[in-house]
Amino acid sequence: MVFEPNYHISLALLETLKRIAVLVADLNKYSPDETVTMRLMDEAQAQSVYASTTIEGNPLALTAVKALLKRHPRHLRQSEQEILNYNTALTELQTKSFSERTVLGIQKTVMKNLLVKEKTGAYRKEPVFIHDPRTREVIFLPPDHADVPKLMRRLFAFVKANRDVDPVILAALFHKQFVLIHPFIDGNGRSVRLASTLLLRDLGINLFKLLSFENYYNQNVTRYFMLVGEKGNYYDLNVDFTPWLEYFAEGILSELRRLEKMLERNEAKILRLKDHHKVILNFLKEQGSMTDREYARLVDRAKATRALDFKYLLNAGLIDRRGKGPATYYVLAE
């Protein structure tokens, strides 16, 4: 048997796909300054890590996530381990291609030090039950663990045979079917969101690294869970994937619009950055903060001129000022 999802291209879905295609073409016209691109990429990665782990119940706020990603402490609480694991998996995606081996590797990274090794990087070998988080009532029975390997093989075969399908449709179908199979004992949600990102790379967006699709799911988390999952027994399902496809495509469009607005706001600022501005931004990216004294050691500019350099970046919204008087220092804007 093969995986044959039931869906149709509704008028709403078709319109969203058209808008996505137009936005992709528009976004590919942008070529931001490298320094600003790096800052926006770091922001997108932090947003993705925060959003995807928050969906799964991680309590850390975005500010705490950003701080954690900068300092990488040795002794970690579970919530911190989840953050660093997801960040590592997201970083590793840059050099990965979509495959069953890659997806198994994603789950292994996501669940490092959170599960016993035998249950990472491998399909589950025991039954699981999906509960309503509020009532703890069992609402969905995924397939028997003995069937998981063949169901996943069919899913990967479907993706391989349909690489000419719109990447939004293909990623969405993979995403929901993966959730229904529930192939791992834990880490399914985080793993599938990362795996779907690999398929979405085929959208052909030059600035793909500046996107955070997880952010949309987190903002609409109730609707996300309602549409990505099902109720009942897997073997009794007759799923219409169309409502999920519409939601998934809306999320892609929403994130593309967010990126477009961000690039529009930054475009004028980016074009006016001078080499001395880049010295400040590069230092802040590497060190996290900068004082005027530190800046003076890097450039041959008078104190009044250095003050103007900081003011320019403050007005552009690229940096923030902290402290007062002699204790003043600067950090990258959040």
What average pLDDT does the structure give for the chain? 91
Res 279: pLDDT = 92
3-class secondary structure, 59: coil
Pull the structure tokens for residue 56. Answer: 């799964």
Overall average pLDDT of the 189-207 stretch: 91
Residue 135: DSSP 8-state: T
- The residue behind tokens 């996530």 is 65
Domain 11-268 indexed as CATH 2.40.170.20:
no
For the stretch 211-255, pLDDT in tens is 888 888 888 888 998 999 999 999 999 999 999 999 999 999 999
Q: How many CA atoms lie less than 13 Å away from 127 in the CB half-sphere?
A: 8
Torsion angle defined by CA atoms of residues 43, 49, 55 and 58, in that order, rounded to the nearest 10 degrees? -110
* Architecture of the domain delimited by 273-332: Orthogonal Bundle (1.10)
For the stretch 222-234, pLDDT in tens is 899 899 999 999 9
Report the C-alpha gap between 285 and 274 in whole angstroms. Answer: 17
Would the pLDDT of 208 be above 70? yes
Residue ranges, CATH 1.10.10.10, the chain: 273-332
Report the C-alpha gap between 319 and 334 in whole angstroms. Answer: 8
Residue ranges, CATH 1.10.3290.10, the chain: 11-268
Would the pLDDT of 127 be above 70? yes
pTM of the model: 0.79
> For residue 269, what pLDDT band results from cuts at 50, 70 and 90?
low
Would the pLDDT of 52 be above 80? yes
Pairing of strands 138-141, 232-233: parallel
> For residue 41, what pLDDT band results from cuts at 50, 70 and 90?
confident
For the stretch 280-308, pLDDT in tens is 999 998 899 999 999 999 999 999 999 99
Res 176: pLDDT = 97
